[in-house]
Every structure is written in C-alpha cells, then in structure tokens.
A and B are shown apart, each in its own frame.
Chain A
C-alpha cells in the first residue's frame, strides 16, 4: 500500500512519511519545487530501501490537479494513504493591505486542498477504501488579530474536512484532520515563539502516522493543544475581542 504526500518539502511531511517508509510502504512525493521532491524520493529510497518517486504538483494550479491525480492512480493502483500538507502562513499585515497575499493564503491552505481532496474523494468513494489526512491548524479554531487570514483559511479547511469525513464514512474511507500547535519548521523559523510549546517535526510526524493507522478523525498534536484550544475557544466573545492575541 502506498502513501502520497503533497507538500514534500515540509519537515512534518517527511517525518510522517519516514514511518510509512520504515514499514515498507511505497512513497510518492508531490511538490512544486524543481528537483526537490526528487531529492527526497532519492534519499528515502536509500535510507529506507523502499520504493519512492516524485511527482510535480502546484496547489494553486487547479486545472492540473485532475490529470495529476489520474496519473498517480494509474501508476499506483494500490494507493491507500494520502497526506496533504500544503500550507502558506503568509504575512497577516500584508494580507490586510494587499489582497493578492490574502488570496494566496486562502488558496494555498483552503482552495488548493479542496480541489485535490474532491478528486481523491471521488476515487476512494468508488473503491470503498482509502485514508486521507490533511494538516489544518489550531489557528483555525478561533480567529485572532495576529493571523486571522491564515486562521480563517485553516478554519474553513477544518469545517470542510469534517463534512468530507461525514460523507466518506459510509464508504469506509477515513478522513483525518490534523491540528498542530507550534512546530519548529521553516514556516516558523525566526518567529519569537514560547519555546516549551514548540514541538519538533519528528514528534508531530509520529503523531500523524499513529493517527492515520488508527483511522482517527481529529487530532491535536502535541496532544496538550486540545486543552489550550479548549480554553481559548471558551473565552466569551465580548472578552476575547479585547485581548491582544
């Protein structure tokens, strides 16, 4: 059974994929940067002695997605697992004054993912198997002034995935929503984050792997974010709106 990873450059994606590779699954790395997915595929095939290959995909090039998925399925009939990690944090301030930035944030985190998910859903629904995992974020649980563009795209994604899970349940297809807290990756590099709350990509990757195998619905990773978010979402709006978050 094979794993398709979309957003191959992400350290979280690689960490999660390493567990699948170690267990002997074939890995297909999808990404948009020239050569990079191939370098990972090559590295994985040496490191884990498993079959790996790279495919080119840009989350924002929607018309290309149909052919991409068809090609992957044609070459990989035993595709079982899909992990989608596309994401773009962007800059909140820029997004407020420049709509192209807001657009890119929404499209990369939401529209691009929806486009791919629908194609996969149709296929998995018809064969009555499959396991789709998507990285959303704790930022999608409640909008905050410091990153509500990204947060709302992820929030939309979370709601979308909840619906998709509901739809595909009867077909035996699992949909996993992954909500990481802060993770030490190039996305957050250089940001002044509270160190004790920052997880390693390895930790998050392992949580994702376990949750995919257990066919979970929603996970927070590390787990304590469930409690942090519970507190944040229970603050009444009249108070929340006054906070500097």
Chain B
C-alpha cells in the first residue's frame, strides 16, 4: 500500500492538517489499511472543513473506485461505485434524458461524499435531499464485513450513514434513482426584491410552482438597501418551448469550457472594497426576467472557474451554513444578517433557501430556512461565527457539518440534541472501536480524541 504524507484540507483550505493519504484500488486494500490504522474515507474533498481529514490515522480516497455497474434505461436506476462523480453522471446521462434528482452546487462531488453529507440541492423543499434517491448502498465496516443497506435491510445503518460524515464505514457502491428530463435546459425566472419581507412572501407564493428555488442575498448592504436579494426560480424545460437553436444544441454532447485560477494569490484579493462591489454589482446587474439556462450554468456556476477557492489566499475561507425552523425563521435570519452586515459582510453573496424535512439521523436539513455565507479567514471571523452559533441555537437551528470547521463539541451537541445520541448507538453497534474517525468527529465529540 502506498501512502502520501501531505498537508491536507477541505475546499475551504481551512483548517489544514498533515495527513497520511492513500488511494486504494479496491476493497482488499482498504481492509489492509484498516488493520493497523483508523481511517476516514475521502472523495473529492469538496467538504469545506475537516470532515475528510484524519491526522491520527489514514485518509483513504475513493477516487480509483469510480465505475458504473449497471444502468436501467427504462427506470433510470443506476448502480455505481462510490468514487463516481456528479460530473460522470452528467456527462453520461443528460444526453440520454436522465439527471441526478438532487445535486449540490458543484459537480466535483462523489456519490460516497453525497451520501455521507446527505447533500441537498435547490429543490430540497420539494423533493428532499440526496438520500431520498438512494435506494441502497454497500458499505465496508471496520470489521471487514460488507453490508447491503437500504430502508428495509440494516436500516439503522442506512439512516446513520446518510449524513453520517463517513464515520460508519466505507461506502463502496450505491444504487441511485435518476430523474427523467427532456432537455438539458432550465427555465429560470429571476425576481429582484428589495428586502427580506418581500423574499419570504415570494418564497411562499412560488413554493409549489417551481421545482428549484434559491435567493442570492447581498450581505454587505445596510440602511435602506439592507436585505436586498434576487430570487431565482427554475424548472426543467420540457423542450417544446425551446428556441430551435437550443433544441439543436440539446441533441449534441455538451463540452464545457473552463478558466482557471492556477495558484493561490499571495495577498487577499477580497477586501472590503471588492466584496462590496461584488455584492452590489450582482444586485445591479440582475433583472426581472425569464430565460433558458443550460444546466451547467444553472447548477454549477462556480465550476467554470477551476480552483476558485484560490482567490481566498493562503489563509482560506470558512463557509457558514445554518438552518433554522420555519416558525420565526425570518426573525432568526434577520438577526444573523444584521450581525454579518455589522461585521462588514462576508465575501460574495449569501444563499438563502427554503428547506423541507429529512430522515437521516445527522442529516442537516429540516423544515425551515437555510442561509450559507463565505468568510475569508481573518481576524474576528471565528468570534463572529461563534456569535452566530448562539443565534442559531436560540432559534432551535443547526449548522451543516460538511461546511463546518469551527463548532465546538458543546455547541454541536446542543444543535443536534436528541440526534447525536441516537446516532451514537448505531455507530457503537457497527464500529465499536472507532476505526472510522476524523478530525471533525474528534472535534465534535462523535469519536474519542
């Protein structure tokens, strides 16, 4: 077994840890590693914080296990290995009329990572998160045993693994239900809104008419511009309404173009001025309109810029994503936003969306509102985030583990009270020696340190 000792991080480049990494080609090799080490599985490292870091054992990547196993053209059921990515799915199946039913905002995510974080998309309020479309998966346990898990088979392990941040075992294969589409285009409706009251009204109004909905909020503007936002609503285009040019393009295999931020900039390009400009520019440029948008631009705008996290300079970024209950949701979001604006804003925009309920024990979503924001790591940011934690707690909300890098054990256990205990029962049943552990797990007290 070959290892690589490197300074590793998640997408946020914060925190960093010296890790022993390996890239096993198969089950035999993962088992070899498990004999003498603790392990955390890792996909493409698109979690932001320390979920796929393990500086007290080994980080075991799934990237060589990336093969399709079967696909049923009639039903859209795909079976594949855990290292298969959203990019693989899109490149292969869009042209045949199938789309991932739930997708995160980047296609550089593996199926293993999507299950372990139980990722959600812009359609969560209508269809739930990724696990809603996971029919079953195969998982390698610490004991070396391989189990098939579904809603009916080892269902306790199924519900502890979706959203379980890789801590129950190594997901090897998954069976996934894809969604039928008739065109690679979406109809997108943009609505420019002056404040949060307008936004919350519109969210209610269009809840059911649009499959996808998300709002971009300016988190710098204060005074009369405070809370201004653009609501983006979308549906898969049926195809009939498309102009001929786009119809033609739909029939061809799509090839993406990329630009790249090749290295970390030595200084921070994101300062008060650029951030303010960016936030206002987005709002100014937005128009009330309906347009056809290709799925790639619609779902993965950031993927057009390879390594865009490099613009955050060496110190990295923190992504803060919270979810608060529907009841008093607006009030909670307002409090958070006020604090962020007073702090001087984050970078880029914040994304606000309505969420539905979810079954995974540690799955992040529940019925309410989620807000996610990026902050470059600099003085005062962590303290400010800790203050946000208190607001989230006060309203009975929680933070998303796959984005988190700063919560402490106490806060986590309050946010996931009643859930983490239940999860722990299953964890101990299937991994009594805590062979699967990560820096995140030790920080949050999900595994002993």
Contacts and interface: CB of A to CB of B under 8 A. Distances in A.
Nearest to B68: A46
Contacts of B64: 186
Nearest to A192: B4
B71 A190 contact: no
Interface residues of B, number: 14
Interface in B184-204: none
Interface string A167-193: 000000000000000000010011000
B439 to A, nearest CB: 21
A9 B25 contact: yes
A18 to B, nearest CB: 11
A32 to B, nearest CB: 13
Contacts of B70: 42, 46
Could you say which interface size class chain A belongs to?
A: 10 to 19
Contact of B3 (A46, A47, A190): A190
Nearest to A46: B68
A73 B25 CA distance: 30
Given A40-B67, A46-B70, A46-B71, A189 B2 contact: yes
A226 interface: no
B306 interface: no
A186 B67 contact: no
A40 B66 CA distance: 10
Contacts of B68: 42-43, 46-47
A47 B2 contact: no
Contact of B67 (A42, A189, A190): A42
A43 B4 contact: no
A230 B90 CA distance: 42
A42 B69 contact: yes
Interface string B33-68: 000000000000000000000000000000010011
Contacts of B4: 189-190
A158 B71 CA distance: 42
B127 to A, nearest CB: 25
Interface string A86-126: 00000000000000000000000000000000000000000
Contacts of B88: 47
B390 interface: no
Contacts of B449: none
Contacts of A190: 2-4
A189 B64 CA distance: 12
B44 to A, nearest CB: 14
A186 B71 contact: no
| 7 A-B pairs closest in CB distance | A43-B67, A46-B68, A190-B4, A190-B2, A189-B2, A43-B68, A46-B71
Interface of A: 9, 36, 39-40, 42-43, 46-47, 186, 189-190
